[in-house]
Amino acid sequence: MMKSDAVRDYLILEDQQEEACGVFGIYSNDPDFEAATLTYLGLYALQHRGQESAGIVVSDGQHLSIHKNMGLVSQVFNRDILEQLKGRIGIGHVRYSTTGSSLFANAQPLAARCSRGMMAVAHNGNLVNTESLRIRLQNEGSVFQTTTDTEVIINLIARHSRDSLPNAIIKATAELKGSYSSLIMTKDTLIGVRDPYGVRPMCLGKLSNAYILASESCVFSSIGARFIRDVEPGEIIFIDNDGVRSYHLPKVNRRALCVFEYIYFARPDSNIDGINVHLARKAMGNELAKLFKGEADVVIPVPDSGVSTAIGFAETSGIPYDIGLIKNTYVGRTFIQPQQELRDLGVRIKLNPVESVLRGKRVVIIDDTIVRGTTSGKIIHLLRDAGAKEVHMCVSAPPITHPCYYGIDTSVRKELIASSHSIEEIRRYIGADSLTYLNMEGLLQAMVPKEELCLACFNGEYPIEIQDEHNDKYLLEER
């Protein structure tokens, strides 16, 4: 959701697409198992997927306990808080808002009481029929305390809670349209659900006798767990005292994993649906180098997501790779400036040039996307100030011409620079000596299997039809 103009005046925002969130869940039958601590460590590994809020819900088999707040995982939790969260089952969430404001009320997981008892939900993705479902549920007597689509999911499950839990979830998800990789927890059960198109990732792992569900496989190596497999699109995984069992939603005609998981969102050490993210980005760099027609002395990445792509670019082009920008890892994706006049220092606070690498050089800089073009222009200006003789920008994705409805915080279409400007116009706007985008052919050459990707940001071909006129208006006006 877009911040108000008044707030934006005091913020420095990355000119990139932002991910919705990350989820982590763990189940053990051991009554002494410390689910909260492992969930905390799992969320740490997923911090890149959301930096606005964090939360954990645990169960000891009888009662649910919750703690959540705005901020990073390290800011929301400490040793005392974790010691109070006693339980052998847990789910956790890190959030970047897409549907719903960046408010404490929207921090997840969300917990509610229904006829089956307490239930908690952590959701990654975005429903495209949120508004029509909310209006219908309100007309039927439901009361909403948040503006997030996760509360719609809770209400739908509660409506069917007289059925068995698997049937209640199957009936609820039958009404959902959009993307969702969600975790649901009752007092004695952990459930993972991935939408039939598989837009957002989810995978299954194991740590000793405990089972884990998480957004990315990097979590497992971070906490010493073992990756088992990806959760299939349309799969519902139940984990309880009887072990692990699967149910399946009705199949759709295709898969549609978001290609930006590989381009930008996921950690390079993650494997998503059988593809390693680092190797996919290297392959994008290989293809991008084939399209670059200029000459240069050094290839540098915009850290961090540009690193793997820049390595691949250097490998194919023969232009030496080096580090030309240093990222301040202690600055989040959004931070408040102390004074209005310091706004132009925003990029310098987050990225600092290595002048000895850049001075007098013809520089190729690799970035993953250009959304509005503002940050790209500032980075190029930064490189020139550091002494770069020429700056050639290469982008590891095709031009973004359409907004996303499935869980990425893109601008309205009129703010996407590529929707209304040619590549040459964008080059002049950002001040680069040349601008090279990876084309669709090169992107698909780097990605296998290419027929299972959502590419709507580039071509406007949305795999899940946008039918909800209320939700469509809401997304277009407020994202």
Residues serving a catalytic function are: 21
Quote the tokens at residue 389: 């003789």
DSSP state of 357: H
Q: What are phi and psi of 264, to 5 degrees?
A: -145, -45
Q: Tell me whether residue 116 is exposed, middle or buried, using C-beta atoms within 10 angstroms of its C-beta: 0 to 12, 13 to 18, 19 or more.
A: middle
Distance, CA of 118 to CA of 109 (rounded, Å): 12
DSSP 8-state symbol, 321: B
372, 478, 466: which is closest to 416 by C-alpha?
A: 372
Strands 351-353 vs 275-276: parallel, antiparallel or unpaired: unpaired
The C-alpha atoms of residue 462 and residue 199 are separated, in whole angstroms, by 11
245: enclosing H helix or E strand: strand 243-248
DSSP 271-318: EETTEEHHHHHHHHHHHHHHH--S--SEEEE-TTTHHHHHHHHHHHH-
Contact of 54 with 92, CB cutoff 8 Å: yes
- The token pair at 386 is 């550091």
Q: With 0-12 CB in 10 A as exposed, 13-18 as middle and 19+ as buried, what is 156? A: buried
The closest of 111, 57, 110 to 86, measured between CA atoms, is 57
Report d(CA 435, CA 66) in Å as an integer: 49
- Tell me the three state secondary structure of residue 73: helix
Q: Beta-carbon neighbour count of residue 175 at 10 Å? A: 16
Q: What is the bridge-based pairing of β-strands 434-437 and 390-395? A: parallel
First to last CA, the chain: 4
Single out the residue of 177, 200, 259 nearest to residue 20, CA to CA: 200
- Going by the DSSP 8-state scheme, the letter that residue 327 receives in this structure is E
Strands 325-327, 351-353: pairing is antiparallel
What is the crossing angle of helices 130-139 and 469-478, to 10°? 120
